[in-house]
Amino acid sequence: MSSRDALYIGGQWCAPLADGRIDVHEASTGEVLATVPSGGPADVDAAVGAAVDAFPAWSSTSVKERADVLRQVADALEAREDELAEVMAREVGTPIASSRRVQVGLGVGVFRSMAGVLEEAPLEQRIGNSLVLRVAAGVVGAITPWNYPLYQLAAKVAPAMAAGCTTVVKPSSVAPLAAYVVADVVHELGVPPGVFSVVTGRGAEAGEVLVAHPGVDLVSLTGSTSAGARVAELAARSIKRVTLELGGKSAFVICPDADLDAAVEAAVRTAYVNNGQTCSATTRLIVTRDRLAEVEGRLAAHVGALVVGDPLDPATTLGPVASAGQYRSIQGFLDDAADQGTVLVGGPGQAPGQDRGWFVRPTVVSRVANTARLAREEIFGPVLVVVPVDDVDEAVQVANDSDYGLSGAVWAGDVEQAVAVARRLRTGQVSVNGGRFNVLAPFGGFKRSGVGRELGEHGLAEYVELVSLQLPGDVPSTVSVPTAP
């Protein structure tokens, strides 16, 4: 991977005004993969200034112009699939096949889908004697995480661009390279200067400055719950709008009549996707006691068969976690696993056969009480806990007994029964008998999992403000008034 020496600000590659560099490490080796600038307050100020200057013209463009740009970005990113997939396999540890399908595919899909959403969204509406306008919210500060560098950037930048907002992106210092590829694409396409800028930097030196900047109107963050609380605190001082997509400890409920082969296979897939580095991963498996032993046997077989190794090897199904800090955090949970339940597979220590990098042993801990730390806190690694219950009613109670409410899953003997259980879960999305993720459906959570929604028409709505034009009483609703292009 090539190191980067500049920041993308106002349509140009600019030398950073702050000193310092950030090392980007390869997850499978721990070695330095590339370096990027460590931007500071002056760099953030320059990027926000460019976004403020670009906003009047960009927010006045037509729906067709903005939709065309979104599709062009999607096409250009898709053309660089191999490069992007390798970047995120090496930065994050995502196995290469999953990196192509999920890391790149979802990001491209969000840009492309948002063009269609924009074209179908009503930008104006008559309500009695009022003409209600949906107008761009302004300058967006987008702070993106390391686990899905392209997809999470797309989930913020695509609706912002669609709405007519301009955006400054502060990517994670752990995995910033995909944001540079997006900047390359935006530059090559000739997107107007200031519509999209990238400032790499550390949280206190760049991220917090971006959130507090008086030129920023809306802040969108994906990250930990503690980071979300800090952003909300800083944004509140200047009454900024915020959208926060935060942590999760999501439950997968297996009903007594479920097909266990299908349910367990799905439970493993959704718990260990991206090596467990997924906020919506269903990492609490809730099972009735009469089927617990059967589920444990299947889990041991499935998880034991995962191939841990180099994420660039097509045979690998579980790669390393993204950083030394994340590895240490996970090990802290695994050191206590045997005291909180029965370790079926895995446990503390480096994965066998791996003498460098940050490879965690894929782990299942069963017979865990829902009050245990393993069941309460987000681990963010390849660790699944099994919580036994007496019946479906207790399963629902346990699923909802969490500080989080981001995701979930239900598997039952038929879809109708599964939907009935899913309706009782207090969480932002629920997979029903294996239902797949949908980039057009709203994504976000309850409680400590965040504020607001991303994706589709609901995600676009986060980036607009509403204006009511009160028309004279003698203008009937049947009379045409000038509309937006």
pLDDT in tens, 236-255: 999 999 999 999 999 999 99
Residue 463's region, left for phi above 0, alpha for psi from -120 to 50, else beta, is alpha
User: Counting Cβ atoms within 10 Å, is residue 15 exposed (0-12), middle (13-18) or buried (19+)?
Assistant: exposed
E strands in 26-91:
32-37
CB contact at 8 A, 147 and 477: no
CA 346, CA 327: separation in Å to the nearest integer? Answer: 14
pLDDT at 424: 98
Helix (H) or strand (E) holding 476: none
How many other CB atoms sit within 10 Å of the CB of residue 40? 20
CA 260, CA 245: separation in Å to the nearest integer? Answer: 32
CB contact at 8 A, 162 and 70: yes
E strands in 193-296:
196-198, 218-222, 241-245, 251-254, 284-288
pLDDT at 485: 59
Question: Would you place residue 480 in the very low, low, confident or very high pLDDT band (cuts 50, 70, 90)?
Answer: low
CA 367, CA 132: separation in Å to the nearest integer? Answer: 55
Residues near 300 by beta carbon (within 8 Å), at least 6 away in sequence: 344, 345, 364
How many other CB atoms sit within 10 Å of the CB of residue 163? 28
How many other CB atoms sit within 10 Å of the CB of residue 220? 28
E strands in 171-234:
196-198, 218-222
Residue 4 has pLDDT above 60, yes or no: yes
Per-residue pLDDT, averaged over 4-32, amounts to: 97
Using the 8-state DSSP alphabet, how is residue 456 labeled? H
E strands in 4-98:
7-9, 12-14, 21-25, 32-37
Per-residue pLDDT, averaged over 284-290, amounts to: 98
| Amino acid making up residue 128 | G
Mind listing the pLDDT tens digit for each residue in 65-115?
Answer: 999 999 999 999 999 999 999 999 999 999 999 999 999 999 999 999 999
CA 29, CA 310: separation in Å to the nearest integer? Answer: 9
Instruction: Return the closest-CA partner of residue 171 out of 248, 92, 235.
Output: 92
Residues near 313 by beta carbon (within 8 Å), at least 6 away in sequence: 96
In degrees rounded to 5, what are phi and psi of residue 474?
-90, 15
CA 468, CA 482: separation in Å to the nearest integer? Answer: 14
Look up 279 and say whether it is catalytic.
yes
202-206, 282-286, 396-400: segment of lowest average pLDDT: 202-206
pLDDT at 2: 79
CA 207, CA 216: separation in Å to the nearest integer? Answer: 12
Its sign, for the CA torsion 14, 17, 21, 24, is negative
In degrees rounded to 5, what are phi and psi of residue 298?
-70, -40
pLDDT at 252: 99
Question: Which of 26, 91, 208, 245 does the annotation list as catalytic?
Answer: 245
E strands in 213-283:
218-222, 241-245, 251-254
Question: Would you place residue 481 in the very low, low, confident or very high pLDDT band (cuts 50, 70, 90)?
Answer: low
Per-residue pLDDT, averaged over 366-391, amounts to: 98
Per-residue pLDDT, averaged over 49-78, amounts to: 98
Mind listing the pLDDT tens digit for each residue in 108-167?
Answer: 999 999 999 999 999 999 998 899 999 999 999 999 999 999 999 999 999 999 999 999
Q: Say if strands 7-9 and 12-14 run parallel, antiparallel, or are unpaired.
A: antiparallel
Residue 482 has pLDDT above 90, yes or no: no
pLDDT at 474: 73
Give the three-class secondary structure for 101.
Answer: helix
Residue 479 has pLDDT above 90, yes or no: no
Question: Would you place residue 189 in the very low, low, confident or very high pLDDT band (cuts 50, 70, 90)?
Answer: very high
Per-residue pLDDT, averaged over 276-289, amounts to: 98
Structure-token pair, residue 204: 């206190």
Mind listing the pLDDT tens digit for each residue in 439-462?
Answer: 999 999 999 999 999 999 999 999
pLDDT, averaged across the chain: 96
Output the furthest CA–CA distance in the chain (Å, rounded): 79
pLDDT at 473: 79
Residue 1 has pLDDT above 80, yes or no: no
Q: What is the pTM of this model?
A: 0.96
Structure-token pair, residue 55: 């906003």
pLDDT at 37: 98
Per-residue pLDDT, averaged over 46-75, amounts to: 98
CA 133, CA 468: separation in Å to the nearest integer? Answer: 6
Q: Say if strands 464-470 and 7-9 run parallel, antiparallel, or are unpaired.
A: unpaired
CA 404, CA 293: separation in Å to the nearest integer? Answer: 28
Look up 208 and say whether it is catalytic.
no
- The full set of domains in the chain, from first to last, is 7-246+449-468 (3.40.605.10), 251-432 (3.40.309.10)
pLDDT at 31: 97
| Amino acid making up residue 199 | V
76-85, 123-132, 309-318, 411-420: segment of lowest average pLDDT: 123-132
CA 12, CA 202: separation in Å to the nearest integer? Answer: 21
Mind listing the pLDDT tens digit for each residue in 190-226?
Answer: 999 999 999 999 999 999 999 999 999 999 999 999 9
CA 190, CA 311: separation in Å to the nearest integer? Answer: 34
CA 430, CA 418: separation in Å to the nearest integer? Answer: 10
pLDDT at 196: 99
Question: Which of 279, 296, 378, 462 does the annotation list as catalytic?
Answer: 279
Question: Would you place residue 477 in the very low, low, confident or very high pLDDT band (cuts 50, 70, 90)?
Answer: low
